[in-house]
């Protein structure tokens, strides 16, 4: 089992989760985060820290696409270990439908 970041992180990018991760397996894109599924130790401490409820165990239904998505981008984006401010419209975007199609950017974040 691993944990994955889902589309509700897009355009929110809360980083509360990265501070509690004991293995630094979060990677930063321009407007979202991902978890490297091979580095995640399945401890689960990140899941309750996410204000947007965007972190899920891969054992939930229909998570295969998110495992692939997280793997792909964690291999090209920089690692993030420090909390940063969320995206400017994070509160308004939380729970919005269609975030992947509307807002997702493949560009890397700054990491750090």
Q: What are 68-95's pLDDT values in tens digits?
A: 999 999 999 999 999 999 999 999 999 9
- Domain assignment present for residue 88? The answer is no
- Domain assignment present for residue 96? The answer is no
Torsion of CA 33, 14, 30, 44, to 10 degrees: -10
- Domain assignment present for residue 107? The answer is no
C-alpha–C-alpha distance, residues 90 and 27, integer Å: 18
- Domain assignment present for residue 99? The answer is no
Determine how many CB atoms are found less than 10 A away from the CB of residue 27.
Answer: 25
Q: Which residues pair with 34 in a beta bridge?
A: 27
| The pLDDT of residue 29 | 98
**Mean pLDDT of the 62-66 span:** 96
Q: What are 25-57's pLDDT values in tens digits?
A: 999 999 999 999 999 999 999 999 999 999 999
CATH code, domain with 41: 3.30.70.20
| The pLDDT of residue 104 | 98
C-alpha–C-alpha distance, residues 17 and 46, integer Å: 5
User: Which domain covers residue 9, as residue numbers?
Assistant: 3-83
- Domain assignment present for residue 61? The answer is yes
- Domain assignment present for residue 97? The answer is no
Contact by Cβ (8 Å): 32, 13:
yes
| The pLDDT of residue 1 | 87
Query: What is the pTM (predicted TM-score) of this model?
Result: 0.96
Number of domains within the chain: 1
């Amino acid at each position: 089992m691993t944990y994955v970041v889902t589309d509700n992180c897009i355009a929110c990018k809360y980083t509360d989760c990265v501070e509690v991760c004991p293995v630094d397996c979060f990677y930063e894109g321009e407007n979202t985060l991902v978890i490297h599924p091979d580095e995640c130790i399945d401890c689960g401490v990140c899941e309750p820290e996410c204000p947007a409820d965007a972190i899920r165990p891969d054992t939930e239904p229909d998570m295969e696409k998110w495992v692939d998505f997280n793997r792909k981008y964690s291999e090209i984006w920089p690692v993030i270990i420090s909390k940063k401010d969320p995206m400017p419209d994070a509160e308004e975007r939380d729970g919005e439908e269609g975030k992947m199609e509307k807002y997702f950017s493949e560009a890397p974040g700054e990491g750090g």
